[in-house]
Structure 1
């Protein structure tokens, strides 16, 4: 009886334990399910975040590519602007050098009174000295100081060398053929008219330089002592001022142009000085100011000009007897007629104080 009871009690205990274990297992299972649900939600949230981040990454890549393109364009534009700036600075420096060379080469002989020297511009200067002067102005190492160069033929040689080595002739490639054809015209009036019109078509720096040079050569030509008449100066400056109509002319072109180049310069020199003065930007203001030029080292004469025109021809006793009033039928009279039409003599004068100085060709 007692054993029977104990067995039943033990059986009940075992059942109770089994029930409790089952209950605990269910609770644990429920907890596991709950944890799984939490983890699943977190996983879904992480997937959504990952998707958003992927989309954001794609947008970032697209924006980066666009920025790289913009950066490339900006760099290219900056390079172009920098190159333009460098070119502008180089052109400005070159323009200053060109202005200095032409102005100094012309002013030095005139200041010294050496334009009366026999054979000026025809007699070659020392090749070594001309080369040294050329290298000095090309390198830009210090002022030229041409007033310290004793050999005037070297200074004149520098001017010829400079004009000869311009990128294009003073009369430009574009107008070269017109100048050459005009000088060959048999009708003198038509030739003069065409030349004047073509000179007016030159760029302003080239036109000013040509006028500046022709006025100087006319002063040289008027000196009987230097023995450099119109014919001699035309032969010397024909190849340098007129040059050729292309960068690399053929031998036949060189031979053909050699005969015509002096004719063009001769025509230029036959024009009266009033015509060339009329082409300059300001007739009354001196192109070379009457002060010490710091770039060149030349002391220009300080004279009271008043209302006198610049580039007044030199008056030599030998030439005074030849000064006569020209008739309307002469070349000078015709040029005055044509020149007056183009030079606009009624143009108002510039205000005092606003001086325009000589500019040289590009």
Structure 2
């Protein structure tokens, strides 16, 4: 089977995972009772709560797929999938550890030196070390091979200069894995490398990019001749493109690509239950649920492929395209199923407030993680290659 072959076999989760799912639900119920803010759309992006992260880590639910020797739980991708699925469905505040758990940790495990693994992975698994993504730039979003940030060799390491854009959490996180050009003479893919950069370096200036809601999640990150030691290089010089490609499969395929607005759907159902739900409303909610189930199955298939060590970049792109379009369409459907004025100033957690939050976040759904238009090109090329 070629690496681009589309996975079609339905994935059945092992029965023992049901116990894990119930444990997570019990934990979330306790958090609700304690007053932790839950039930938010886009919680994996904007719900930054280090305390919540540490409580997850105490239960072994951060860094789940990392080996025990590096502080992880040594569990599989499917077990991790169940945990994050429940967290997203609850709208839990998980953004503090999200990037570190999803891609920075696995990337350091795969490409890092032993010293880097010992330094970062136990702290990630303990919920004490948070990462941002330093890939995108102005005019270099989905086309990452065109990045202009430069890393030049110095006597003692590297000098990093450039500006990253849409860097989520850079104002509160500890580190970023930054993609930079290290060889001007190589072709646009071969001359790239990745670096682990301390975001508290005084030569780094973080400038906020606010969402339509006014929330501060994204940033410009200005790297002003940042001096890095040799041990900041992740992997080998020139291997950055291959490393980034592997990370993007993790970034694009997870349930966050179709569950960002699930709390809104849950709130919609709750509102309909309070009144008389018409047959048409019932049918439209059913169609949304069916679409959600089919995208979830595709996403689970990617998790199973990663568990088996198979590449799944094409399938991940498909999950991201279908899932993020669903997220936006769910909002439009909700507005038609239950015509209620969206109000960002309404009581926090009320249906009008959740609807307004989802609407204001919606422009980013199909953009972040690579625009859907670019991803469709990846999907098309993958399908052609699998013939």
TM-score by length of 2: 0.25
Give the number of the structure whose residues are more often helix, by fraction. 1
Q: Between Structure 1 and Structure 2, whose CA radius of gyration is higher?
A: 1
Give the number of the structure whose residues are more often strand, by fraction. 2
- Higher relative contact order at CA 8 Å, sep ≥6: structure 1 or structure 2? 1
TM-score by length of 1: 0.26
